Every structure is written in structure tokens, then in C-alpha cells.
């Protein structure tokens, strides 16, 4: 990433980004937005409107808006970041992999998987140009692609990706890292879709255990896995267990994200659908 020269502004920007990341990690999204808006204003004031620092500041806000469920705002931030960074680096620069990764992830979140897949594939292709210098970055992009492939039921491609990246993350980051938990959760969905209930349940529960250790019992990340576990339990006919998992997912999501967030709405809809069965 291009940095400014001649003063301490980049250090100040980095400080704001670090504070925002910590706040976002703790699901304190309002605080994270304050820091990121300050970083954006600082970058614009110091560097102008066509500098890489401004592009990355916009990208950071896009990531936050996606987490907040503000998908239209996220798309707007990402588009502006992409425009600036392409002008600086060129359309095919490996550094653009991050933007394509985020654009693909946004389409995934919006349920527009056909649009998301080519973006995710482009992210992987661009990132591979830096390999072997950045195997971790490639793994992150591959995992995001696998998530979209799942939604398109391309399990023959997604499952080996998940197993590969889980192994890499366990070796490089440790067995209880967040990236391990995310991909365990996603691999569980693949195994469930393929009829392996035993492995699927073990994977869901391990993902839940890791997330609880990392975030505590009230973080919205738990709601995602609890929701998936609840749907899995419902498919197995374990209705009481499914109700417990989905009810807990709703409580966590609504308390952390508010009742209108897409995660809260999805968890609540799944719980209501389950109740209608009885």
C-alpha cells in the first residue's frame, strides 16, 4: 500500500485503523465506524481524492458496512475504492485481490452467488501471482470462493478447498484461530449436504467451541454457527435441540446487531419456521 511521506500522518491513520479493527472484532460497530470515518477524513485531507490511502480507507468502511448489514453502503464504498486503486495500480495488479475478495463476499452476503463467483475467482487468480510469498492470502481468497461454491452446490470443488485451508490455518495460526472456526463451520455445511451427519455435527461443535473461546458467549459470530447447527438438527428431526440452538442464535444476534440486521432476520425466520412445524 502506498504511504505518505514527510510527516506522521500514516502512523495516525494506522492507529485509527487498529482501533477500528479492535472495535469491530468486539462487535462494537458504532465505535468502529467513528474511527474509520476519521481515518477517511484524514486520508482525504492529507492526500487528496486519488491516493491509495483514500482507497484503503474506503475499503475499510466497506468491510464494516457489510458487517453491519448495510450492503448498499458497502457496495458504494467498495466501488469507489476499486476506482481509485485501479487508477493507481492498474486493473490486473495483485494488490487488487483484496477489493475483488470483498466485492465477491458482498455478493455472497446479498445472496447473489452467480455474481460473486467470478469476483472471488478473480481475487484468487490475482493473489496467486504473489505466491509463494503470500500463501495465507491465497488461502483466505480460496476459502471465500469455496463459500460461494457451496451456495451453488459445487461441493466437489469446495470441500477440498476447505480441507486444504483448514490444514494451512491450523499449522500457521494454531488450531483455535478464527479462520479455522469459520472454515470448520463451512465444511460442516458441506458434509451435512452430502449426508455425513456425524462429521458435520463434530465440525459444527468444534467451530462453536473455538468461537466461544475467542469471543465469549454473546458475540454475533456464535449466532451464525448456532443458526447452522439448529437447521442441521432440524433436518435430523431433533426438534427440541434445534429450537434451543435457533433461539439462542436469535437472542445473540438481536442483542449484538439489532433486530433488523440480516443475520438477526435470518435466524428469526428459521426459528419461526421451526415453530410452525409443531
Range of the domain at 82: 9-89
Instruction: Give pLDDT, residue 15.
Output: 94
**CATH number, domain at 44?**
1.25.40.10
DSSP secondary structure of 205-244 = HHHHHHHHHHH-SS-HHHHHHHHHHHHHHHHTT-HHHHHH
Does the residue 114 lie in any domain? no
CB atoms within 10 A of CB 231: 20
Does the residue 222 lie in any domain? yes
**C-alpha–C-alpha distance, residues 61 and 66, integer Å:** 9
Q: What share of the chain is helix, strand, coil (3-state, %, to 5)?
A: 80, 0, 20
Closest CA to 192 of 233, 162, 245: 233
Does the residue 57 lie in any domain? yes
Does the residue 235 lie in any domain? yes
Does the residue 2 lie in any domain? no
Please, are residues 97 and 137 in contact by the beta-carbon 8 Å criterion? yes
Q: What is the largest CA-CA distance in the chain?
A: 68
Residue 3 has pLDDT above 80, yes or no: no
Q: Pick the residue with more confidence: 135 or 16? A: 16
Does the residue 246 lie in any domain? yes
State which of 72, 89, 106 marks the end of a domain: 89
- What are the tens digits of pLDDT across the range 182-238? 999 999 999 999 999 999 999 999 999 999 999 999 999 999 999 999 999 999 999
Does the residue 42 lie in any domain? yes
State which of 89, 111, 137 marks the end of a domain: 89
Q: How many domains does the chain have?
A: 2
High-pLDDT (> 90) share of the chain, %: 90
Instruction: Give pLDDT, residue 278.
Output: 59
Amino acid at each position: 500500500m502506498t504511504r505518505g511521506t514527510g510527516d506522521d500522518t500514516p502512523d495516525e491513520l494506522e492507529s485509527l485503523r487498529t482501533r477500528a479493527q479492535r472495535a469491530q472484532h468486539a462487535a462494537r460497530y458504532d465505535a468502529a465506524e467513528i474511527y474509520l470515518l476519521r481515518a477517511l477524513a484524514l486520508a482525504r485531507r492529507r492526500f487528496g481524492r486519488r491516493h491509495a490511502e483514500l482507497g484503503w480507507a474506503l475499503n475499510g468502511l466497506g468491510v464494516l458496512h457489510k458487517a453491519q448489514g448495510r450492503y448498499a453502503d458497502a457496495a458504494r464504498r467498495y466501488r469507489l475504492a476499486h476506482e481509485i486503486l485501479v487508477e493507481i495500480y492498474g486493473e490486473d495488479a495483485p494488490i487488487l485481490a483484496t477489493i475483488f475478495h470483498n466485492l465477491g463476499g458482498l455478493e455472497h452476503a446479498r445472496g447473489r452467488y452467480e455474481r460473486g463467483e467470478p469476483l472471488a475467482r478473480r481475487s484468487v487468480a490475482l493473489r496467486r501471482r504473489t505466491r509463494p510469498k503470500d500463501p495465507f492470502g491465497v488461502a483466505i481468497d480460496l476459502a471465500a470462493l469455496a463459500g460461494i461454491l457451496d451456495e451453488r452446490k459445487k461441493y466437489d470443488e469446495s470441500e477440498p478447498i476447505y480441507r486444504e485451508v483448514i490444514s494451512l490455518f491450523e499449522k500457521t495460526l494454531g488450531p483455535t484461530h478464527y479462520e479455522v472456526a469459520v472454515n470448520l463451520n463451512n465444511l460442516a455445511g458441506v458434509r451435512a449436504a452430502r449426508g455425513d451427519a456425524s462429521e458435520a455435527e463434530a465440525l459444527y461443535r468444534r467451530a462453536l467451541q473455538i468461537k466461544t473461546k475467542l469471543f465469549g458467549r454473546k458475540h454475533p459470530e456464535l449466532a451464525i454457527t448456532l443458526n447452522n447447527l439448529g437447521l442441521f438438527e432440524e433436518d435430523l428431526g431433533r426438534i427440541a435441540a434445534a429450537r434451543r440452538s435457533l433461539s439462542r442464535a436469535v437472542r445473540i444476534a438481536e442483542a449484538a446487531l439489532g433486530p433488523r440486521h440480516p443475520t438477526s432476520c435470518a435466524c428469526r425466520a428459521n426459528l419461526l419456521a421451526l415453530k410452525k412445524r409443531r
